Chain A
C-alpha cells in the first residue's frame, strides 16, 4: 500500500520534471537583427560535417585536415561571413548526432550528407539541394548477389537516423521481397557487422558506401530513392535558413557547386 503511494509520488515528480523540460526546450526566441549576429559573436562558423565520407566530408588521417565537397561549401560560407575561409570550426557528426547538435546550439549549420525529406522539414530548415545521391547496397563478393531480388529474407545493416531503411523497404515492397533491418549508430559498426556476417548487406547513400569498399565487398548496381542533400539549420532560425539558401541558390546558378562536384569526382 505504502509502496503504491510512493510509486505514484515518484511518477508525479518525474512527470512534472519532464513537463518542465518540455516547456523549457520548446521555444527559443531568435534574436532580432541580422541572422549572422550570433555566428559573428562566436568568432568562427561552427559546422557539423561528416568525417568518414570520401568526397563529401573526410577527416584525412595523414594530414589531420577535413576534405571534401561539403567541407569546401562550409569554407565558402565562412568566407561570406568573415571574409576569411579559415574562421571555421568543424564538428564531426553522425546521422544520429547531427540533429541534436543543431537543436542545442552547438553548431550553426549541418552540411553532412543530410537528406531532405518532408518529415524532416517539420524538424529542421533545409536549403536548396546541392547534390542528389541514391541509396545503394554493399555486400560481400562471396555472397554473389546480383540485385535486391537475391536478398530475400536477408538482414540489412543501416545507420540510425538515416533514410536508408525506408528507401530499401520501399524498393523491396515493389518487387515483393521480404527484408529485415538492424540499426547501428555509426557506419564502422555496420561494416564490422557485415564482415562478421551479422548482417547480409550494408545500406546507405552510395557516396558513403564508396568509403567502405575493400577487397571483400562490392556495390550492387541497384540505386534506390534519390537522396537530395541540403544544408540544415535550426527550425526557429528562419532568417539564417533564408540567408544560406540564397548562397546555395547563387552557387548553383554560377557553377560553383558544379565545380566542386567535378573537383571531387562525384558525378
Chain B
C-alpha cells in the first residue's frame, strides 16, 4: 500500500462506508435543525434591526455583532468545555444545532435587514395609510416582497451553515467530518480517500443549492431589467 491514495485504501473505504453514511446523516440532521433556528432568529432580529424602536435596534445590533465577530470554534469550545463547570452540559448534537444555528442566525438577520430596507419606504407608508398596523404591514406587504430578494443570499448562508457543522469534528460530535477523521486515523490510516470522499459528500449537499441560488438571482435580474420582455417572460415562466 504505497502512498496515501493506494487502490487498496479505496477498497477499505468501501468496506467501511457505513461510518461515512452515518456521519452524513448526522450532518444533514444538524444542518436542518440549525437552519430552522437560524431562519427563526434571522427573521426576529432582522425585524428588530429595522424597527423604529431604539431598544430593539440595540438588542439586534449587539446580537449580530457578537456572533459575527467571534469565531464559531471559540463559541463551540466554550459551550462544550466551559459550560459544564456551571452545570450546563449539553450533548454534542444540541451544541451543533444551537451554536451553528445562532451563529448563522446573526448572518441571516443581516440578510433579512438588507431585504427589508431594499423595499421602497413608500410601501410601508401606503400600507399604514390604508390602516395596516406595523406588524400587519410587515406580514402582508413588506416581507412577501423581500422573499425573492433574500433567497439567493439565504442559500449562500445555508451552504456556509452546512460546511460549518464540520466544526463538530473538534468536539467528537459524530458528524460526517468527525466520522471520516476517525476512520482515517484508525486501523489502516487511509486518510487520502477518506477526505476526498468526505469533500464530495459535502459538495453534493452544497453545490445544488448554490447553483439554484445563482440561477434564481439571474431570474430576478432579468425580471427587474425588463430589457427583453420576451426573454424575461420566458425566464419568469420557466419552472
Contact = CB atoms under 8 A, between A and B. Distances in A.
A7 B189 contact: no
A18 interface: yes
B203 A14 contact: yes
Given A3-B212, A22-B192, A14 B1 contact: no
Interface string A5-27: 01100110010001001110111
A161 B185 contact: yes
B118 interface: no
A7 B208 contact: yes
Contacts of B164: none
Contact of A119 (B80, B89, B187, B208): B187
A122 B1 contact: yes
Contacts of A103: 3-4
Contacts of A196: 80-82, 84-85
Contact of B189 (A3, A6, A21, A123): A123
Contacts of A235: 1-3
Contacts of A160: 181-182, 185-186
Interface string B14-40: 000000000000000000000000000
Interface in A170-214: 182-185, 189, 192-193, 195-198
A95 B3 CA distance: 18
A40 interface: no
For chain B, the bracket of interface size reads 35 or more
Contact of B203 (A10, A120, A123): A10
A267 interface: no
Given A7-B207, A120-B189, A196-B82, A183 B172 contact: yes
A25 B1 contact: no
A91 interface: no
A25 B196 contact: no
Q: Which of A6, A22, A124 has the most CB of B within 10 A?
A: A22
Interface of A: 3, 6-7, 10-11, 14, 18, 21-23, 25-28, 95-96, 99-100, 103, 119-120, 122-124, 157, 160-161, 165-166, 182-185, 189, 192-193, 195-198, 235-236
6 contacts: A22-B192, A103-B4, A124-B189, A161-B189, A183-B172, A183-B181
